[in-house]
């Protein structure tokens, strides 16, 4: 029996173990993991979000080792994380990301990418151009989630937009919106993280006690804390929009009266299309390598998870090369 | 010294007392109250919302007794409740309802309509056509707030839309959206209230424990309870919109993860333009008289407030004729 290494998350504990190699169903590719990225969602899963138990991981770049389509063989790929039914109304509308029957790689009823070999439907895969390194490609999934904002609303060029949070997602969002010629103000608590955005041309602000009130028509909440949304609601102007990006475990309480009186729109925003993300990386419009704080071999995933949860740490990647 | 009767709300207690007749500033009309309507917001003010203390009342119809513009004299009028600066960016954009310097009739730093004589800027006034009775005209303000939904989003004709709550606002919303050819499902807990909507052609449902999940692209939350918004978030389909209409005292907690994963838009919705509301009443497109549960003279305002807070009661009006 062929065994391989996989990361396991059980009852909030992360460990590695040997599991059987997955069988490749028809229409699926078998993919050898090259690099995986630990996302805040993985850390939230560890805190009990979704009551998750299994193999985590949804940010990855890998090499196709078996596939129906021969032109995929040997290619480096990234993969969309929603496995949709491809039959329902959502799938027909090209919104398999909302298919009610979907499973989600490493999040909902589908074993994740943090294992030596994984399977995904070939339709989920995107070939990575040679000019994009493995360490860059691992950012395609969170970058796609960032670009989703641009698919959800028409934000005018030059618009003032506040991004709350200088974590991984906040830094990506600030960079992408700046690349799209918006006037971004990034608010964060970590001078070293803000520096990364500043180097990319983003105007940054150390978030002190008092953030500006009713100051922006557009606010992106990526603080990753229960208070982030309340802050965003205070910062947005009447009739403005707040994009909600932080999936956190729990049910934060909200000043709904302010939302109503000021007629604010709160817009949930999740996964996005991979194409714009690959285009941004290919065009070198944004820099992601600065955001890698540390790197571990797959076998040291428990240490990597621990490291990723430390204060001040950005992206931690797992190498399975 | 000329005195007149006014309702007073202090430390959650409602009483009537004699106060001085208000002086009419330039640009303002002096208006004799004919009928006032008690709104849920008034009851929330009594519960401590906004830390209100003063003369409440913002739904009214009255007769102009003094004004700069002679053509207003003796006319029946309703009045927009936001007193805006008319200078700022919001006011220039015709959105004085969001003027940051505004006061609000009977809600924010401006004495309300529940007094024998009140003043309001003449620009706030709309003359009531003769075909609309006083008892109907008192519904113009909440009707305008209902119509605001139609100004905030383009809901296609025939769209399925759930309205949560069979209180005053829910009944108005269900009727207006039905009049605009939408396929409305009204969910409420009171068979007698649902009947009013059913008579106006609305499809009604007694809200039992289990409401349909992910079933509507559009949901209007008008339940007036902290749980209403959570229910609306469960009922709306991915990528759908929830209009938030219930201003309640407190900060309800929210399943933000569901909002994000399903990419739901939560849209705060408050006051609206008066013109569409007057047009609906003039065209007899909706029925409001069914919704008047009781009527008291202004001098019996404490009893009227008590009555308005009783379970099963809809609009209670104050007569000062």
Question: In this complex, do A266 and B263 lie within 8 Å of one another by their Cβ atoms?
Answer: no
Interface test with chain A among B104, B261, B269, B273, by most A beta carbons within 10 Å: B261
Question: Which residues from B are below 8 Å from A245, CB to CB?
Answer: 260
Task: Determine the Cα angle at B123 with ends B121 and B127, to 5°.
Answer: 105
User: Are B253 and A249 within 8 A, CB to CB?
Assistant: no
Going from the C-alpha of B139 to that of each of B2, B61, B302, the distances in angstroms are: 31, 9, 21
CB contact under 8 A, B95 and A247: no
Predicted confidence band of residue A63 (pLDDT cuts 50, 70, 90): very high
The answer to whether residue A193 scores a pLDDT higher than 80 is: yes
Q: Which residues contact B310 (CB under 8 A, 6 or more apart)?
A: none
Report the alpha-carbon distance of residue A62 to residue A77 in Å, rounded.
Answer: 5
Closest alpha carbon within chain A to B149 = A263
Calculate the average pLDDT of chain A: 94
> What does the alpha-carbon distance between residue A133 and residue B42 come to, in Å, rounded to a whole number?
62
Q: Are B236 and B217 in contact (CB under 8 A)?
A: yes
Rounded alpha-carbon distances, angstroms, from residue B155 to A168, B33, B183, B265? 36, 37, 11, 14
For tokens 């005195």, what's the residue? B3
Q: How buried is A86 (Cβ within 10 angstroms: 0-12 exposed, 13-18 middle, 19+ buried)?
A: middle
- pLDDT score for A58: 98
Find out whether A236 and A264 touch, Cβ atoms under 8 Å.
yes
Q: How many CB pairs under 8 A join A and B?
A: 111
Q: What is the pLDDT of residues A152-163, one digit of tens each?
A: 999 999 999 999
Question: In terms of C-beta distances under 8 Å and separation of at least 24 residues, what long-range contacts does B65-74 make, across chains too?
Answer: B65/B30, B65/B31, B65/B32, B65/B117, B66/B24, B66/B29, B66/B30, B67/B24, B67/B28, B67/B29, B67/B30, B67/B122, B68/B26, B68/B27, B68/B28, B68/B29, B68/B122, B69/B122, B72/B29, B72/B122, B72/B125, B72/B127
- DSSP codes, B64-91: EEE-SSGGGTT-EEEE-SEE--SSSHHH
Contact assignment for B253 to A252 by CB distance below 8 Å:
yes
Q: Is A253 in Cβ contact with B251 (below 8 Å)? A: yes
Q: Which residues of A touch B (CB under 8 A)?
A: 49, 90, 95, 98, 100, 148, 152, 214, 229, 238-239, 244-249, 251-270
User: Which residue in B247, B249, B253 is closest to A260 by CB distance?
Assistant: B247
Residue A297 Cα, gap to closest chain B Cα (Å): 31
- Which pLDDT tens digit goes with each residue over A268-321? 999 999 999 999 999 999 999 999 999 999 999 999 999 999 998 999 999 996
Query: How close A269 gets to chain B, by Cα (Å)?
Result: 5
Across the interface, do A238 and B98 touch by the CB < 8 Å criterion?
A: yes
CA closest to B44 among chain A residues: A257
Q: How far is A321 from chain B (nearest CA, A)?
A: 32
pLDDT value of position A1:
64
Domains and CATH numbers, chain A: 3-139+288-319 (3.90.180.10), 143-268 (3.40.50.720)
* Yes or no, beta carbons of A267 and B263 under 8 Å apart: yes
**Smallest Cα distance from B100 to chain A, Å:** 9
Task: Please give the pLDDT value at position B1.
Answer: 64
pLDDT in tens, A219-263: 999 998 888 999 999 999 999 999 999 877 778 888 999 999 999
Q: Distance between CA A22 and CA B307 in Å, rounded? A: 68
Q: Considering only the beta carbons, identify the residue of B229, B260, B262 that sits closest to A256.
A: B229
Interface contact flag, B267 A265, Cβ < 8 Å:
yes
Distance from CA of B212 to the nearest CA of A (A): 15
CA dist B260 → A230, A241, A271, B19, B238 (Å): 15, 14, 9, 52, 9
Which residue in A has a C-alpha nearest to residue B230's C-alpha? A251
Residues of chain B with a CB closer than 8 angstroms to some CB in chain A = 49, 90, 95, 98, 100, 148, 152, 214, 229, 238-239, 244-249, 251-270
Distances (CA, A) of A238 to A72, A80, A148, A160, B268: 50, 36, 23, 14, 10
Q: How far apart are CA B213 and CA B226, in angstroms?
A: 18
At A11 the pLDDT is 84
Helix (H) or strand (E) holding A64: strand A59-66
Name the pairing type of β-strands A13-20 and A292-297. unpaired
Q: Which residue of A has its CA nearest to B228?
A: A256
| B266 with A259: Cβ contact below 8 A | yes
Nearest by CB to A263, from B257, B259, B270: name it.
B270
pTM for the full predicted model: 0.93
Buried b (16+ CB within 10 A) or exposed e, A238-273: bbbbbbbbbbbeeebebbbbbbbbbbbbbbbbbbbb
pLDDT score of A2? 87
Mean pLDDT of A110-132: 98
Strands (E), B132-284: 160-164, 183-188, 203-206, 216-221, 236-244, 265-268
Across residues A51-58, what is the average pLDDT? Answer: 94
- Please choose, from the candidates A263, A256, A257, the residue with its C-alpha nearest in 3D space to the C-alpha of residue A237: A263
Beta bridge partners of B187: B164, B205
Of A260, A261, A268, the CB nearest to B262: A268
* Angstrom distance (rounded) from CA B30 to CA A183: 47
Q: What is the pLDDT along chain B (321 residues), one digit of tens a residue?
A: 689 999 999 988 999 999 999 999 999 999 999 999 999 999 989 988 778 899 999 999 999 999 999 999 999 999 999 999 999 999 998 889 999 999 999 999 999 999 999 999 999 999 999 999 999 999 999 999 999 999 999 999 999 999 999 999 999 999 999 999 999 999 999 999 999 999 999 999 999 778 999 999 999 999 988 889 999 999 999 999 999 998 777 788 889 999 999 999 999 999 999 999 999 999 999 999 999 999 999 999 999 999 999 998 999 999 996
**Cα–Cα dist A245/A237, whole Å:** 19
Q: Do B152 and A263 touch (CB under 8 A)?
A: yes
What ipTM was assigned to the predicted interfaces of this complex? 0.92
CB contact under 8 A, A263 and B267: yes
pLDDT of residue A47: 87
A90 to chain B: closest CA residue: B238
Please choose, from the candidates B255, B314, B204, the residue with its C-alpha nearest in 3D space to the C-alpha of residue A244.
B255
pLDDT at B12: 87
A248/B256 touch (CB, cutoff 8 Å), yes or no = yes
In this complex, the residue of B214, B251, B266 whose CB is nearest that of residue A266 is B266
């Amino acid at each position: 029996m062929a065994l391989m290494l996989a990361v396991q998350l059980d009852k909030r504990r992360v460990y590695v173990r040997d599991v059987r190699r997955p069988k490749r169903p028809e229409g699926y590719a078998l993919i050898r993991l090259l690099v995986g990225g630990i996302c805040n969602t993985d850390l939230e899963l560890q805190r009990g979000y979704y009551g998750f138990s299994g193999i985590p991981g949804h940010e990855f770049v890998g090499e196709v080792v078996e596939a129906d389509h021969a032109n995929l063989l040997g290619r480096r790929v990234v993969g969309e994380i929603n496995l949709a039914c491809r039959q329902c109304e959502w799938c027909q509308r090209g919104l398999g990301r909302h298919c009610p029957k979907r499973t989600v790689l490493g999040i909902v009823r589908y074993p994740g990418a943090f294992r030596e070999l994984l399977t995904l439907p070939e339709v989920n895969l995107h070939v990575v151009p040679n000019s994009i390194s493995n360490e860059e490609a691992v950012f395609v999934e969170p970058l796609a989630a960032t670009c989703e904002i641009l698919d959800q609303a028409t934000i005018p060029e030059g618009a003032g937009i506040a991004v709350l949070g200088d974590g991984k997602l906040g830094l990506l969002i600030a960079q992408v919106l700046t690349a799209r010629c918006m006037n971004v103000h990034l608010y964060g608590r970590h001078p070293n993280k803000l520096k990364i955005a500043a180097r990319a041309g983003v105007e940054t602000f150390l978030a002190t006690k008092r953030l500006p009130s009713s100051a922006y028509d557009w606010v992106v909440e990526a603080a990753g804390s229960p208070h982030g949304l309340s802050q965003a609601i205070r910062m947005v102007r009447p009739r403005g929009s707040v994009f909600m990006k932080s999936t956190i475990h729990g049910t934060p309480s909200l000043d709904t009266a302010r939302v109503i009186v000021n007629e604010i729109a709160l817009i949930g925003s999740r996964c996005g299309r991979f194409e714009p993300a690959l285009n941004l990386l290919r065009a070198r419009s944004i820099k992601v390598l600065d955001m890698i704080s540390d790197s571990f071999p797959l076998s040291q995933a428990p240490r990597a998870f621990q490291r990723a949860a430390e204060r001040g740490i950005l992206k931690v990647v797992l190498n399975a090369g």
